[in-house]
Amino acid sequence: DSGDERHKDKSDRATTEQVLDPKTRRILFQMINSGIVSEINGTISTGKEANVYHALSSSEDLDTPDKHVAIKVYKTSILVFKDREKYVTGEFRFRKGFNKSDNRSMVKLWAEKEMRNLKRIHAAGVPSPEPLYLKRHVLAMTFLGDSKGKAAPRLKDVEFTDEDPVSRWRSVYIELLAYMRILLQQCKLVHADLSEYNILWHRDRPYIIDVSQSVEADHPRSLDFLRMDIKNVNDFFKRHGISVLSDKKVFQFITKHAEDAELDVDTLRVEVEKLLAERIDEEEDEVETEVFRKQYIPQTLDEVYDAELDAENLKVTGRNALVYKDLLAPLKGEKPEPTSDSIVTNTSASGQARASGQEVE
Ligand code: ADP
Ligand code: MG
C-alpha cells in the first residue's frame, strides 16, 4: 500500500544518491551540456550492479524514437564485480586489461563490454537496445518502452491477453531460440545471464538486454554458460505451458553450424518448428533434458569453473584439452569428428554414454 510505496521511494532515492558520486554526476552533467540528453529523470531500475535511468534526448543526431533514452550507470563501489572477474579473465584480450585494485577501471570495463556486445547484437538484427554513448561507467542506449516513457516489461511480468496465450508464448519461444543461435553464430557471443529477467517485451518482440557479462564463443566455458541459458529459457516457457524441446535438442540447434544466409530469423523459426514437429514423444524429451542436466551445468555464476586455469591449460595443450571440442568443430565450420553427434562434457566413457543418451553399465 502507499506506506510501503513511500518507504520504497525513500530507499530508491537513497540508492540513487549513493550511485551518483561526484564523478558520475559530472559525466551526467557533461551529457546534458554537450546536448546528448536534455534531462535525466527517475530510475527505471535500481539493481545490485547498476541503476538504469530514463532520460530525454535533445540531439537531432540520435535516432531515438520519441527521444527517450535509457542510461545505465554501473555502480563503482560494489564487490559484486569481483565475481565477474572470471568472465573477463577467460578472454585473452582482457588478460592484461585491468588493474584489479581499481574498482573503477573494472566497472568501466563492464560498461565497455556491454557497449561492444550491444553493438554486435544490434548490428546482427537481434532485438536489443542500440548503444548511443559511453563515458567511463555510464552507458546511454535507446529506451525500450512506450511513447510516454513507460519502460517495457520484463518477460517475467508479461501477461498475454490473447484468446490463446499458449500459442503466443510458443511463438515467442521459437523466436528466442532463433536469436540465441544468431547470438552464438553471428555475434559469436553467449549471453551467460539469459532469463525472463533480461528479456524485455517491446513492440511484440523479445528484446535482449544486460549483456555486459556475455562471453565470447571461444571462451573456454562458453558452452557451459549456453547450457545455463538454455535451462533458464526452457524452464520459463515450460511454466507457461509450452511443450519445449529438450535442452539437448536446443543446444544442438543453437550450436549446429549454419551458413550466414541461414541465420535469418524467419528461416530459423521454420527450423525450430520442424524440430518441434519431428518429436515423437514429449516425455522422451523430458527424460533427455533430465539426463542432459545431470551432466555438469553451473547453476549460478559462482559455480563456474576456474576460467583462468582453463585458459592456461588451453595455452599448453591446445584445443584438444577442451571438453567441448567435438561441438566446437561444427560450430567453426570445420569438418566434424566422427563422434560429433554425442555431446561430450565428460571424458570418461560413462560420461560419453550418458551424454549420448545411452544406458550406463
Ligand atoms: P542489471 O540487471 O545489471 O541491473 P539490466 O541491464 O538488466 O541491469 O537493467 C535493469 C533493468 O532496467 C531491466 O530489467 C529493465 O527493466 C530496465 N532497462 C534496462 N535497459 C533498458 C532499456 N534500454 N530500456 C528500458 N528499460 C531498460
Ligand atoms: Mg538484468
Q: Which atom of ligand 1 is nearest to the CA of 50?
A: 4
Query: Do residue 86 and residue 184 come from a single domain?
Result: no
Q: Please identify which of the residues 21, 164, 193, 264 carries the catalytic annotation.
A: 193
- Contact by Cβ (8 Å): 288, 357: yes
Q: Is residue 316 part of a domain?
A: no
- Known catalytic residue at 306: no
Distance 88 CA to ligand 2 centre (A): 18
Grid cell locating 228 = 545455463
Whether 332 is covered by a domain: the verdict is no
Residue type for 15, please? T
Map residue 152 onto helix, strand or coil.
coil
As residues whose CB is below 5 A from the ion ligand 2, the structure lists: 198, 210
Q: Which atom of ligand 1 is nearest the CA belonging to 209?
A: 6
Residue 146 catalytic?
Answer: no
Ligand 1 atom nearest 141 alpha carbon: 23
Does residue 138 sit in the same domain as residue 240? Answer: no
Q: What pLDDT sits at residue 61?
A: 60
Q: What is the mean pLDDT of residues 310-317?
A: 52
Nearest alpha-carbon partner for 178 in 120, 280, 256:
256
Mutation pick for ligand 1 pocket among 210, 212, 214, 301 (CB with most ligand atoms within 8 Å): 210
126: in domain:
yes
Which domain, by its residues, includes 106? 2-142
pLDDT at residue 220, rounded to an integer: 83
How many domains does one find in the chain? 2
Nearest partner of 273 among 142, 155, 141, 174, judged by Cα = 174
How much of the chain exceeds pLDDT 90, in percent?
Answer: 55
- Annotated catalytic residue: which of 12, 162, 210, 247? 210
Does some domain include residue 164? yes
Same domain, 7 and 82: yes
Condensed to tens digits (0 to 9), the pLDDT of residues 73-83 reads 998 765 444 45
Confirm whether residue 72 is marked as ligand binding.
Answer: yes
Pairing of strands 205-208, 215-216: unpaired
Q: Report, as an integer, the average pLDDT of 309-338.
A: 45
> In angstroms, what is the span from residue 281 Cα to ligand 1's centroid?
38
| Ligand 1 centroid from CA 141, angstroms | 10
Residues 138, 164, single domain; the answer is no
Q: Is residue 351 part of a domain?
A: no
pTM of the shown model: 0.77
Say how many Å lie between the CA of residue 50 and the centre of ligand 2.
9
The Cα-based distances of 37 to 32, 41, 258 in angstroms read: 5, 11, 41
Q: Is 15 found in the same domain as 112?
A: yes
CATH number of residue 112's parent domain: 3.30.200.20
Decide if 221 contacts 307 (C-beta within 8 A).
Answer: yes
Between 50 and 348, the higher pLDDT residue = 50
Q: At 274, give phi and psi (nearest 5°).
A: -65, -45
Cα distance between residue 317 and residue 105, in whole Å:
32
| 132 pLDDT higher than 90 | yes
Q: Does 350 reside within a domain?
A: no
The segment with the largest mean pLDDT, out of 25-34, 97-106, 341-350, is: 25-34
**Ligand positioned closest to the Cα atom of 111:** 1
pLDDT at 102: 64
Rounded to whole angstroms, the Cα distance separating 135 from 158 reads 33
Residue 163 in any domain: the answer is yes
